[in-house]
Amino acid sequence: MAIKLYQFCISHYCEKVRWALDYKGIKYETVNLLPGQHVKAIKKMTGAESSVPVLDHDGQIIQGSAQIIDYLEQAFPEPTLTPDDPALRQQALDWEKKLDELAGPAIRTWVYHYFLQRPKVVIPLLAAGTPFYNRIALSLAFSRVDEIMRNWMKINQKTADAAQQTLEDLVTELAEIYGQRPYLAGEQFSRADLAAAGLLAPLFQPSQYPVPWPKPAKIPKPVQAWLNDWQPKLESIARIYQKHR
C-alpha cells in the first residue's frame, strides 16, 4: 500500500489532510511542490485543476481536502472523523464546507496581501520542504510571482480588508461556540473541528506545522497587530489543535 500526498507545506488545506492522515495513523509520503511549478505535475495526475492537496493511493487519485477526507473515512474508517448520528454528521459536514469556503480563502487573501510585500519572509514559507535552490529561483522571479499570485487569487487591499472581516466574524463565532461546548458537532472531535483548527492554524502558528514560521518582528505590522488583538479569541481554536494534533 503506497500513499502519497502532493502538497504545499504552507497550504492550510494540505494541513487538513496531513492531520487526518496522522489522526488515523496512516503512513504516507509527502511530495512537496513549489507553487507555480506544480501546475504541470498536478494537471497530469488529475486531468483537471492544478490545486493541491492531491492524494495518490495505489493509483487512486483524489483531489481536494474534503474529498480526500471522505475517501479516508471509507478506506480507513477508524478512528472516525465523521459522526455516525445523521444530524451530527450533517452538522459536521456543513461546518467543514463553511470553513473551506470562507476561512480558507480569507486567510490566504489576507495573509498573502501583506506577506507578499515582504519577499524575504514569504519566500521561505512558499518554498518550505523543497530543495534550497527554489528559494533562489523565487527570489530572482519574485516580482512575477507576486503578480501571478495576486491576479490568481484576486488579492488587493480591498479584498484583504473584506477577508479580514470574514476572519473576524468566523473567529468570533467559533470562540463563542467553543466557550459553550467542547466541539462543533456533538461531544466528540470531528472533521468540523479539524477544519476549523487546521485552516486557522496559520493565525496561531503551531510548531507541528512544517514551515519556518517567521519571528514576530518579521511579520508585517498590520498582521502582527491583528494577531495580538485577537489572540484571546484564537486560544480556544488553538487548544483544539494542540489537543488533537
pLDDT in tens, 9-54: 999 999 999 999 999 999 999 999 998 777 778 887 887 777 899 9
- Dist. CA 194–CA 243, nearest whole Å: 11
Among 35, 26, 11, CA closest to 142? 35
The pLDDT of residue 104 is above 70:
yes
Instruction: Report yes or no: 192 and 183 within 8 Å, Cβ to Cβ.
Output: yes
The residues of the chain that CATH labels 1.20.1050 are 86-244
The β-bridge partners of 3 are 57
Q: Mention every residue, 6+ apart, whose C-beta is less than 8 A from residue 117.
A: 220
* Confidence at residue 50, expressed as pLDDT on a 0 to 100 scale: 74
pLDDT recorded at residue 1: 67
State the CB neighbour count (10 A cutoff) for residue 226: 18
Name the pairing type of β-strands 60-63 and 54-57: antiparallel
Sheet holding 60-63, edge to edge: 29-32, 3-7, 54-57, 60-63
Contact 21, 71 (CB under 8 A): no
Q: What are phi and psi of 188, to 5 degrees?
A: -130, 155
Q: Grid cell 504552507 — which residue?
A: 10
Average pLDDT, the chain: 96
Burial (Cβ within 10 Å: 0-12, 13-18, ≥19) of residue 1:
exposed
Tens digits of per-residue pLDDT, 156-197? 999 999 999 999 999 999 999 999 999 999 999 999 999 999
pLDDT at 42 (0 to 100): 86
CATH 3.40.30.10 domain residues, the chain:
3-75
CATH code at 3-75: 3.40.30.10
pLDDT of residue 35: 87
CB 12 within 8 A of CB 199: yes
218-224: average pLDDT: 97
Sign of CA dihedral 195, 197, 198, 200: positive
Q: Which CATH number fits domain 86-244: 2.30.42, 2.60.40, 1.20.1050, 1.25.40?
A: 1.20.1050
CA 182, distance to chain mean position in Å, is: 22
The predicted pLDDT at position 7 comes to 97
Average pLDDT of span 209-227: 97
Which residues in the chain belong to E strands, given as ranges? 3-7, 29-32, 54-57, 60-63
